[in-house]
Structure 1
């Protein structure tokens, strides 16, 4: 993480290598995202293993499994980008983890806040409903691959990677 690089004093060395800041950010993101995928991908096989070894015949909806896998992959990419950004802001890995956890928990809670009775500003209720990660995962888990959700996660991932790039780039001038 960037926080670890700063804490150990290797961040300056990293910035003097013959690669651009964007390449550094993308490499850090790709490494963390690849680790996430390697840890997560075996879980996609569990329903098929269960189907094979079940005593009673059952049918697994492979489209729903694939859709959920894509959704969780996009969700993971977003959180990896958010974590990279938080890590670029601080020297402490623990603080970066807490920032990422707090932001993720806040986004998760919006799903529950959207279930409350609509408040006076109707636009606020609609905003909470449309940004609810719970609602997105419900769609992904039922096999609905809504392009709005895909674009939202890709956009958020891109935004946080761009913010990380700008944060790393600003360190060059300090």
Structure 2
């Protein structure tokens, strides 16, 4: 457990010690900032123009007006590029510098190496999307009102959050791994349980939050972003285990990632009753967001695709490292 923690910490910190992390962060902030500005302009538009689902614009899934459609093509064209930048250095750099052999001879299993690198890049990916949370109050038109009523469920929620923070601090200061894991698990369980009961059972809340726009598309959109991002990151990690050059790894991960993006452009070529139409929809990530996630709908088919491809790519990455060890 301690070795895995050290690997996760090393890989995550490396994003802020090299230009790779800052390039990905800068490109991502510019792209999402432009899309947010477009969504805000459509929300305040007068007359027949406007937008029905603001998250469609932010995630590049709107069909009209033309500017939103162009933004959608730009967003999903650059999305695999950003995830490719995040994962390109993870194993390819180790192979290029010759440090992979020393890592594989260390007292750590191959699956621990792969899991540590995936968790680190996934945490950095979540950090990128955490910066977009400042857009949510505007897109959902949220209003908060302080009630000042402390209940048992609210106290459980606060205790759970405190335990999660303590687990995070213990992780960075390399305390006992099992203790950190226990604190994180218990804290998460208390926070989720207390938050759910507080929202459903308590008549009065500490803070009453109201939204003039349906908040469900925001929740489902971020759920889709998290799982789809995990799939693209796992795919990039697999590619990074094949080559020595970071540039080649980035280009290959971009090409493979576009295999889940470009089918969205082919949907106009098939009739909705065609046999190929469901196949194109199933592998087309932009279509999942345009038709489901950004509208507040959760379809289990995309979820199965994201989870299965993620697990398959991680398994193949472990096998790739094992094959290199045998050589």
Match of 1:130 among 274, 282, 293: 282
Work out whether 1:113 is the aligned partner of 2:266: yes
> Is contact 1:29-1:81 (8 Å) kept?
yes
Q: Judge conservation of contact 2:270–2:276 (CA < 8 Å) in 1.
A: no
Aligned Cα root-mean-square deviation (Å): 1.7
Residue by residue over 1:67-109, the C-alpha shift from the partner in whole angstroms, topping out at 9 and shown as x without a partner, is 1001001111001100100000000111111011111122201
| CA apart distance, 1:52 | 5.5
1:24 equivalent to 2:113? Answer yes
Task: Quote how far apart the aligned CAs of 1:117 are.
Answer: 3.1
User: What whole-Å deviation, never above 9, does each CA across 1:123-163 have from its counterpart, x for those lacking one?
Assistant: 43431122111221121111111222112101110011111
- How big is the shift at 1:17? 1.3
Cα offset, 1:171, TM superposition: 0.5
Q: Structure 1, unaligned stretches of length 5 or more?
A: none
Is the partner of 1:17 in helix, strand or coil? coil
Are residues 146 and 163 of structure 1, via their aligned partners in 2, closer, same or farther at CA, if it must alter by over 3 Å? same
Which structure is higher in RCO with an 8 Å CA cutoff and minimum separation 6? 1
Matches within 5 A, 1:1-174: 1-49=90-138, 51=141, 59-118=212-271, 122-138=274-290, 139-174=292-327
Tell me the CA shift for residue 66 of structure 1: 0.9
SS at match of 1:150: helix
Q: Report the structure number with the largest CA radius of gyration.
A: 2
- Give the TM-score normalised by structure 1: 0.89
Give the helix-richer structure, 1 or 2: 1
Offset from partner CA, 1:17-53 (integer Å, 9 cap, x none): 1111001001000000000001112213303145359
What CA distance in whole angstroms lies between the structure 2 residues aligned with 1:144 and 1:165? 34
